[in-house]
A and B are shown apart, each in its own frame.
Chain A
């Protein structure tokens, strides 16, 4: 039974891996087959999968997850500056910092649940954001952001005589396609871990906390450490994602900690389907894709697209559409999000399930319906 389940898991993982690795091929027709964007799919996929462990499985809605992402970025850049341009120590350091930061925030905010928990995490994230611009200036370099410089010590690189000016994995540049495959590997590892977690008794305990925390304590569970562990794991995922951002583009700024970034991961998770394994990743891909597409449109480009229309109509349409693209693409995102929440509360994954169910029912109902109709004729 268990063996069978693991095999099914592996099959699931293999298919997922195939889809990911083939991304450059099948994303090309959508105009998204270039490494920079695909890296972002991977990175925010990791972020959303980690967020889902806390929100989707355990039922704690954190509104401050970007703080861990930002902390991870700073940690990774500092590792580049002080230790080495190799991404591996940077990512490890980013995960540790994300986890420790989450542990500290968790001690306070997990004392409450529901909306109070959300507000506490939001407060912490905004506090980190302001601190990054004031007291923590020596660490964050405030407005200008934390950047690499040729004068950095890079102790390990100097020791082993490695050179280069950008993060590289033993000479492989982390900027282009290699960077994408590196990120994809991390995403697959993260996905596999969250899948195992979900199928385990530990994951079962998390889901039980989500549905009835009070009853849990009468079942003999001390629920607080479970929630705290989920929070720390989720913080480590966020730290890792932040580290990956720094690996692909070695610059860390405080705007990554702002509440809009925290809100974005909530949107990704809900859009894809909170509590499902694949949903958060799909949500991350969709949001990053549309951000890329819609925010690239300018008024000039719109005029070009609608040029086939008569002059008056063209101006009119462009006037209506332009607030939804470019800088205003968040408006489109908002509308998309509202539609999903109202019509598909379970996100895109629920949509898929409904379609599958409908197809199955139609194919099984078809013959019976015909036989029922015949006597009436």
Chain B
């Protein structure tokens, strides 16, 4: 049994009196897609925030490839290869679509900060071609010169995805990657994520759309009120009465 890529152990997080996460244990294995589902307010996004260093946990630790990443700066965690795709598109409105994708590639190339003025000022062709490649994959190449403010919400989500993928992450955290997309775009995104998975990418995905979850996930964890109430393969989760009561609402999916 190999070492898990991401190991969340005994994590607690409180917001005032609210217990957002309690005693979370989660192991994610290399090359798998792990879905986290649960009702709104279950603590899914909080869990991702703890993983990328946005929120410090009150107790416990997050270990990525046997390095403890709790307490590190967000940019350090990103440079180690943990990349998050945000739920609400957090893009740079003053830049064009292509520049938005070039930026993470620039971060990847030059690290968190390297004062290499000559290269930083002169060379952008390589970044541009990289950006075009990924924009083509998410189907935004024809929009590359637009300012991102004029994109639709679904297109912004796809842009977010390209911004994550261009960094060639070792662990990709996806926060509802298909929310706000049409059925057609959702299916395209599923295909894209499957393709990436074949290249050996490890993915953690938060999703409400069960169609997406059951087409992608190898394992599913169910989160409710800050606790993991079930974990297993999609078949096991589908058949679990506790999950049906808490989340799937008793209906067969």
Instruction: Name the one of B84, B121, B124 contacting A218, with C-beta atoms under 8 angstroms.
Output: B84
A197:B103 contact, CB within 8 angstroms: no
Give residues of chain A (187-221) contacting chain B, Cβ–Cβ below 8 Å: 196-197, 199-205, 207-208, 210-212, 214-221
- The segment from B8-16, B104-112, B239-247 that touches chain A is B104-112
Known contacts A2-B124, A2-B128, A220-B79: does B74 contact A204 (CB below 8 Å)? Answer: no
Interface of A is mostly: helix
Asked if B99 is an interface residue, CB under 8 A from chain A, the answer is: yes
How far is A222 from B115 in the complex, measured between Cα atoms in Å? 12
Which residues from chain A contact B153 at a C-beta distance below 8 Å? none
Asked if B18 is an interface residue, CB under 8 A from chain A, the answer is: no
Known contacts A1-B128, A220-B112: does B91 contact A215 (CB below 8 Å)? Answer: yes
Which residues from chain A contact B99 at a C-beta distance below 8 Å? 204
Q: How many A-B residue pairs have CB under 8 A?
A: 99
B122:A221 contact, CB within 8 angstroms: no
Which residues from chain B contact A153 at a C-beta distance below 8 Å? none
B75:A222 contact, CB within 8 angstroms: yes
In the complex, which range does the number of interface residues on chain B fall in? 35 or more
Which residues from chain A contact B93 at a C-beta distance below 8 Å? 211-212
How far is A207 from B99 in the complex, measured between Cα atoms in Å? 10
Asked if B69 is an interface residue, CB under 8 A from chain A, the answer is: no
How far is A200 from B113 in the complex, measured between Cα atoms in Å? 15
Which residues from chain B contact A211 at a C-beta distance below 8 Å? 92-95
A221 — nearest CB in chain B belongs to which residue? B107
A207:B94 contact, CB within 8 angstroms: yes
Asked if A226 is an interface residue, CB under 8 A from chain B, the answer is: yes
Asked if A229 is an interface residue, CB under 8 A from chain B, the answer is: yes
How far is A196 from B121 in the complex, measured between Cα atoms in Å? 7
A202:B121 contact, CB within 8 angstroms: yes
A202 — nearest CB in chain B belongs to which residue? B120
Instruction: Name the one of B78, B90, B128 contacting A220, with C-beta atoms under 8 angstroms.
Output: B78
How far is A200 from B122 in the complex, measured between Cα atoms in Å? 6
A208:B117 contact, CB within 8 angstroms: no
Instruction: Name the one of B73, B106, B167 contacting A222, with C-beta atoms under 8 angstroms.
Output: B73
A193 — nearest CB in chain B belongs to which residue? B121
Asked if B206 is an interface residue, CB under 8 A from chain A, the answer is: no
Give residues of chain B (52-81) contacting chain A, Cβ–Cβ below 8 Å: 52, 54, 73-75, 78-79
How far is A1 from B102 in the complex, measured between Cα atoms in Å? 15
How far is A356 from B50 in the complex, measured between Cα atoms in Å? 50
A200:B78 contact, CB within 8 angstroms: no
A201:B115 contact, CB within 8 angstroms: no
Instruction: Name the one of A212, A215, A221, A229 contacting B112, with C-beta atoms under 8 angstroms.
Output: A221
Known contacts A207-B95, A212-B90, A225-B113: does B75 contact A200 (CB below 8 Å)? Answer: no
B102:A201 contact, CB within 8 angstroms: yes
Q: Mark A221-237, 1 if CB is under 8 A from B, else 0.
A: 11111100100000000
A200:B95 contact, CB within 8 angstroms: no
Asked if B163 is an interface residue, CB under 8 A from chain A, the answer is: yes
How far is A219 from B125 in the complex, measured between Cα atoms in Å? 20
Known contacts A2-B124, A2-B125: does B167 contact A225 (CB below 8 Å)? Answer: no
Which residues from chain A contact B112 at a C-beta distance below 8 Å? 220-222, 225
Instruction: Name the one of B90, B91, B113, B124 contacting A201, with C-beta atoms under 8 angstroms.
Output: B124
A222:B103 contact, CB within 8 angstroms: no
How far is A223 from B84 in the complex, measured between Cα atoms in Å? 18
Which residues from chain B contact A215 at a C-beta distance below 8 Å? 86, 90-92
A219:B163 contact, CB within 8 angstroms: yes
A221:B163 contact, CB within 8 angstroms: no
Asked if B127 is an interface residue, CB under 8 A from chain A, the answer is: yes
Known contacts A221-B112, A225-B115: does B124 contact A200 (CB below 8 Å)? Answer: yes
How far is A202 from B123 in the complex, measured between Cα atoms in Å? 10
- B216 → A minimal CB distance (Å): 23
How far is A24 from B103 in the complex, measured between Cα atoms in Å? 43
Which residues from chain A contact B110 at a C-beta distance below 8 Å? 201
Which residues from chain A contact B103 at a C-beta distance below 8 Å? 201, 204-205, 208, 219
How far is A222 from B107 in the complex, measured between Cα atoms in Å? 9
Which residues from chain A contact B91 at a C-beta distance below 8 Å? 212, 215
Which residues from chain B contact A218 at a C-beta distance below 8 Å? 52, 54, 74-75, 78, 84, 86, 90
Which residues from chain A contact B79 at a C-beta distance below 8 Å? 220
Q: Mark A1-21, 1 if CB is under 8 A from B, else 0.
A: 110000000000000000000
A220:B124 contact, CB within 8 angstroms: no
Which residues from chain B contact A219 at a C-beta distance below 8 Å? 75, 78, 103-104, 107, 163, 167
How far is A196 from B120 in the complex, measured between Cα atoms in Å? 10
Which residues from chain B contact A212 at a C-beta distance below 8 Å? 90-93
Known contacts A205-B106, A215-B90: does B113 contact A221 (CB below 8 Å)? Answer: yes
Which residues from chain A contact B113 at a C-beta distance below 8 Å? 221-222, 224-226
How far is A212 from B115 in the complex, measured between Cα atoms in Å? 21
How far is A215 from B74 in the complex, measured between Cα atoms in Å? 10
Which residues from chain A contact B128 at a C-beta distance below 8 Å? 1-2
Which residues from chain A contact B107 at a C-beta distance below 8 Å? 219-221
Q: Which of A199, A217, A218, A226 has the most CB of B within 10 A?
A: A218
How far is A300 from B230 in the complex, measured between Cα atoms in Å? 90
Known contacts A200-B121, A201-B127, A207-B95: does B115 contact A229 (CB below 8 Å)? Answer: yes
- A291 → B minimal CB distance (Å): 32
- A17 → B minimal CB distance (Å): 20
Please, could you name 5 A-B residue pairs with CB atoms under 8 Å apart, sorted by A? Answer: A204-B99, A207-B95, A212-B91, A220-B167, A222-B73
> B: which residues have CB within 8 A of A?
52, 54, 73-75, 78-79, 83-84, 86, 90-95, 99, 102-104, 106-108, 110-113, 115, 117, 120-125, 127-128, 163, 167
The 3 A-B residue pairs with the shortest CB-CB distance in the complex, in nearest-first order: A220-B78, A222-B112, A220-B107
